Amino acid sequence: MTLANAVTDTADLTSLWGGTGIFGLIWYILVAVALWKVFSKAGYPGILAIIPIVNIVILVKIAGYSAWLTLLYLIPIVNIVWSIVVAVRVGKGFGKGGAWSFFLLWLFAFVGYFILGFGRAQYTKPA
């Protein structure tokens, strides 16, 4: 084993099990649980919330847009505007207003998706 391999092997282990890696894993699990409930309410299989890119595709579909429009997330600056549009449309589908959707589905998405998933909001597909 060379020194370069030993350094990269150590870096791989410490990056995953360091404080940031554990926090990121816990965060991802909690967001997946919240999205699972949101997807279930919207009529999609909840297990799709676990798959990283697929969960964004499903959110775009819940917002009432074509799944192909998920590609807009790849364009810098456009992705910020597009994510706000999707958040507002998802909120509208669950009967929430624009300001609520902006703050709790875009800015603090972790909290907003838990409220949608475990709250009383019912989904109606946006027109």
Segment 35-64, tens digit of pLDDT: 999 999 999 999 999 999 999 999 999 999
38 domain-assigned: yes
DSSP states along 98-114: HHHHIIIIIITHHHHHH
Instruction: Give the residue numbers spanning the domain of 64.
Output: 3-118
SS3 state of residue 43: coil
In a domain, 124, yes or no: no
Number of domains comprising the chain: 1
Identify the pLDDT of residue 1.
Answer: 53
How far apart are the C-alpha atoms of 86 and 65, rounded to whole Å? 9
**What is the reported pTM?**
0.83
**Residues in the chain where the model's pLDDT stays below 50:** none
For residue 6, the model assigns a pLDDT of 55
